[in-house]
A = this chain, B = another copy of it.
Amino acid sequence: MAVNTAETRLEERWRDILAVHARTMCEIDRVLHPHGLGASDFEVLDLLATEPPEQGEQCRVQNLVGRVHLSQSALSRLIGRLEKDGLVERSVCAEDRRGVWVALTPKGRALHAEVLPLQRAVLRRMLAGQELQGA
């Protein structure tokens, strides 16, 4: 019975994660959609925006993979879409010519600043009352 209980709690916890994830993700998508962004797009923009500014918000694709929960190919295409929309710029990395620098354009920075409060608001709304951890 003790084992059974532990199993059940694990199961419940997983269901919770699934539920919170789905609801929040969906809501972020919904809120960002009018601005032409999806949740993953925002994640990348956000990462670039919070890069050490001395880098000029520049970042190797390599650095992004592993911080976003996306395959390398998906990230490549995502950056392609962002570039097409004029939100980021790609440039070859001089030191290692295999690499690609990705940088936020002014437009990208502006859009990020615009939608950041929206995303935060969703987080506050969806993650509140969920305080199972912390404290």
Q: How many copies does the complex hold?
A: 2
Interface members, chain A 87-135 (any B CB < 8 Å):
120, 123-124, 127, 131-134
User: Does A13 have its Cβ within 8 Å of any Cβ on chain B?
Assistant: yes
Q: In this assembly, does A33 line the interface, its C-beta being within 8 Å of a C-beta of chain B? A: no
Chain A interface size band reads 20 to 34
Indicate if the CB atoms of B19 and A69 lie closer than 8 Å.
yes
- A81 contacts the other chain (CB 8 A): no
Which residue of the partner chain, among B11, B131, B133, contacts A123 with CB atoms under 8 Å?
B11
* Known interface pairs A9-B133, A131-B133, A133-B131; A18-B69 also in contact (CB < 8 Å): yes
- Give residues in A with beta carbon < 8 Å to B: 6-7, 9-11, 13-14, 17-22, 24, 69, 120, 123-124, 127, 131-134
